[in-house]
Chains A and B, each alone.
Chain A
């Protein structure tokens, strides 16, 4: 039996018109791209809405047009295609941290997902939302830079692939065009041993906007480091990858590295600000420390 519940009178006041033609909940991507093409920047894209509803707190009624991606199942897949891992933009943090594939192949991304917000946020927030919000403090962003992820941006009839590193252009800014949607995150896989570490620094363990994040992903051939993805969040206007620090590590084994010196190299290459969550000086010192901690952790994991 279905019980019909009439809407309470006080909730009716602001409703006008017969229905909400401006709320779109397409069932497939093709339809979503058509709508985005038509409305361009005049429509709000809704994914897990953990940012959207906070940003529009008590002003939700002012959002004129909604493009809700919630019902598009093709954006919720995690799969391997030709030695690349493809993650749909609507995959949630919870899915990431529970996925055996992600835990095995991209352990640092899984660890970062586990540190996002709280259980209530992780079940709703999406990887695509984290990327498109483009906060310098977005927890998944440093790991994506470490793994050299690329993003698939689609619009009606066209698509392009953009490197994660090029995507972020400033605090909450990115190079996505108004008629585009982020549909997929693509990460190259390797046969080599990959070991990594994730550090999130904040005032509490849960529900905290990061003061600083560090993602270290090292690729080994025997004991030699052949790739080193060092990336940080909340220390510059965008999440950043420190290529120069990575290069200092190439060709060496962990035992040949001076961790403290590498910590100083990290510290020298970041550009943090003073804000509520920490001062510039604090972030610089902590960056050096957590780099040492991350390398120790990787050493421990490799036994």
Chain B
């Protein structure tokens, strides 16, 4: 069967089976390997994408349910030469250890800051609660999201000038 969806701003048409997971579709068919498979059961958050504006575990989405959806993966956020402020903050805060959880963490951070630009630490923890880091690097990951909030606030005020 065929589905059409928008990935990182680009409309794509794909041939899928009902038992293809969105995760496999993104990684295997589209080569978006920033989407990671951890547990495969929705518990670790490594496969997180933003689907229709909400955090989604792509390992739990059968491909046909992604039909007509709008999807953002970490590849759609920034490029190596032009990092998104959240990505920049992760680098500057030293939030990345093995890196496996980071694409999911960054997207969870983005979703949180989109809705709540000045979160408290507690709100950051709640926003990231679906993402597990087995290097246990949470302290710096949380610092990074808080730092990103400040960066984005400054950017926002700049653009209003």
Binding site for B on A (CB under 8 A): 1-8, 10-11, 14-15, 19-20, 22-23, 25, 46, 48-50, 53-54, 57-58, 60-61, 63, 66, 68, 70, 94, 117-121, 123-124, 205-207
Contact = CB atoms under 8 A, between A and B. Distances in A.
Contacts of B55: 119-120, 123
A4 B13 contact: yes
B19 A2 contact: no
Nearest to A11: B28
Interface of B: 1, 4, 10-21, 24, 28-30, 40-43, 45, 48, 51, 54-57, 59-62, 64-65, 67, 108, 111, 127, 129-132
B83 to A, nearest CB: 24
Contacts of A20: 1, 17-18
B13 A60 contact: no
A2 B13 contact: yes
Given A23-B18, A57-B41, A123-B51, 13 more contacts: A2-B4, A2-B13, A6-B15, A11-B20, A53-B59, A63-B18, A66-B18, A94-B54, A118-B131, A119-B55, A121-B57, A121-B130, A123-B56
B29 A5 contact: yes
Query: What are the nearest 5 A-B pairs in CB distance?
Result: A118-B130, A206-B129, A60-B19, A123-B54, A23-B18
B21 A60 contact: yes
Overall SS of chain B's interface: mixed
A25 B51 CA distance: 19
Q: Which residue, B18, B40, B57, has most C-beta atoms of chain A within 10 A?
A: B18
Contacts of A206: 129-130
Nearest to B129: A206
A46 B42 CA distance: 16
Contact of A124 (B4, B24, B60): B60
B42 A50 contact: yes
B5 to A, nearest CB: 10
B45 A118 contact: yes
Contacts of B21: 53, 60
A205 B65 contact: no
Contacts of B40: 57-58
A120 B56 contact: yes
Contacts of B54: 94, 119, 123
A205 B129 contact: yes
Given A66-B18, A117-B42, A207-B129, A50 B60 contact: yes
Contacts of A49: 60-62, 65
Contacts of A54: 41-42, 60
A11 B42 CA distance: 22
Given A49-B65, A120-B55, A15 B42 contact: no
Nearest to A204: B129
Contacts of A117: 42, 130
9 contacts: A7-B29, A15-B17, A23-B64, A46-B62, A49-B65, A117-B42, A120-B42, A120-B56, A207-B130
